[in-house]
A and B are shown apart, each in its own frame.
Chain A
């Protein structure tokens, strides 16, 4: 199938600004899904609220566009009630880790089989550029006019500590890596987290004087490096890309089947 077959073109044009990274994530996510040869009827995409969360409306799967921050909790209900379905949850950094932080760590802890794709633009795009828990110390935002004093999360460390069994990071510049990582994340049985650094030229870019979308993407090239690279040793400030965690652990829905057996409810 071509990527186009996964799109609901009836609902285009999309709502993203020119240069927004979220469209790149959509494109490469669909390329990843294409290589997996999954039936569209077996995929459920659940999202919250934000520019990033609008991805779900444009794809021809079962799509559930929910409320801000709660996508993983909705997805948990879908997955547990029908474990054979493939769950993909695109999220903004605010959606995933501010209002949705609690659901995020608990979904990771349960190791329920779904893929959370965190599109990290370090800002609240949808509401016009307020700081997010990923903006980081020193950033500018409409609600941090005198410089942000909030420290940020490291999504990878947080996911690891919370118990995610697949944790990876890429950027909108590294599209081949992104596609490959998303493919592996979806194939992984357990809770997968993929952080994609995704530019918001309209707010984060403008507020922090980072230039155009192309400038921002070029910066992803310059400030990131493959995990464990030589460059990282020489320049510890570089952000690592790649797969940080990929391990087998009991998956939640599979474990619940055992609960049913112990309770004598097996068919």
Chain B
């Protein structure tokens, strides 16, 4: 057990976890409700000899972390709604150039400036589809501050393993809520360090030639291998090409390296699922209210269960299908007009049994809200 127990906000837990995971470069632009991440980074990073910079906007922020990642550093930026929209082009660049980095989006109410200080979960689809073109992304979330810690470390590990940007899709409730967090001792959680090439000076290095296992060893900018990095379709040297065969191979690689590893990437939690007739599926802060309902109903003998998704992208279709196979009803609890509910419908055998339990008014969904919708689903009226 760790001696280091803190009572902190989710945003601060994210900062501590990033540092634990090896982060030493952060660039960002303040925006509610993610600002505390920048503020804590500004305090903490120089204390460990790391670097913090407040850029002129979010476009510059994601650009700066990509640049810093290329010199061999673990990097992160954090934002919310409008800033996340501004980052989309840079995000696509990090996908195409395969740059490990972590992007936190502490979701608020949208669209546009929307509800800056209120909670929302409306960016789930944007996380995967926000940048142009075909690609796969990893997006991870959490429902309590200890999980914020664990999932943040997981995000850095995934970013390094697959050379990919990873999105931490938290929400305002999680970001601002204070809870106990046990900071693990060094070594308690495994950390993935950057895979560096073994190729010697003077020997041709192919920065974009995947190994047999699909992984791409890197060489730091400033090191002995000089190569080109571009957002254009490129060959194994990183040089632009339109060659259809090479382009096809590149796009397949970008998508397959994520989609072929869904199991390794997926994290989830389950509560009372063994005999559940009514399964609630939720993620982030709303999973807390869902869990409350499940625990209360179980006391009354009702067979409710909760599947809490922590990995949202790549969406764990097989997991959801398997876990929901025996359920008569499935209720997806989320703070948007129905984003994950669509994915769940695609995953299960009987999509007509999947219902949306939501709020879209910036107010956190309460157990009572969930119970009221459940009455309707179960045909008991309001």
Contact = CB atoms under 8 A, between A and B. Distances in A.
Given A62-B227, A77-B66, A82-B71, A265 B47 contact: yes
B64 A44 contact: no
Nearest to A61: B226
A67 B71 contact: no
Given A60-B226, A63-B226, A80 B51 contact: yes
Given A67-B90, A256-B51, A56 B68 contact: no
Interface residues of B, number: 45
The DSSP consensus for interface residues of chain B is mixed
Contacts, number: 138
A73 B59 contact: yes
A240 B239 CA distance: 38
Contacts of B68: 77-78, 80-81
B179 interface: no
B64 A77 contact: yes
Interface stretch (B140-148, B228-236, B247-255, B348-356): B228-236
A76 B229 contact: no
Nearest to A256: B51
A41 B71 CA distance: 12
B56 interface: yes
Interface in B248-289: none
A65 B63 contact: no
Nearest to B92: A67
A149 interface: no
B56 A103 contact: yes
Nearest to B220: A82
A260 to B, nearest CB: 4
Interface string A72-115: 01111111111011000000000000000011001000000000
Given A61-B226, A65-B230, A65-B231, A75 B67 contact: yes
Given A60-B226, A62-B221, A62-B226, A80 B25 contact: yes
Nearest to B25: A81
Given A41-B226, A77-B65, A82 B221 contact: yes
Question: How many interface residues does chain A have, given as a range?
Answer: 35 or more
A63 B223 contact: no
A42 B224 CA distance: 9
A259 interface: yes
Contact of B46 (A10, A67, A79, A263): A263
A146 interface: no
Nearest to B63: A73
Contacts of A259: 46
Contacts of B57: 102
A81 B51 contact: yes
Interface string A5-45: 00010110000000000000000000000000000111010
B381 interface: no
A179 to B, nearest CB: 22
A64 B67 contact: yes
B93 interface: yes
B320 interface: no
A8, A56, A57, A77: residue with the most chain B Cβ atoms closer than 10 Å: A77
A2 interface: no
Interface of A: 8, 10-11, 40-42, 44, 46, 56-57, 60-67, 70, 73-82, 84-85, 102-103, 106, 256, 259-260, 262-267
10 contacts: A64-B70, A65-B229, A74-B64, A76-B27, A77-B67, A79-B67, A80-B53, A80-B64, A256-B46, A260-B49
User: A-B pairs with the 3 shortest C-beta distances?
Assistant: A77-B67, A77-B64, A263-B46
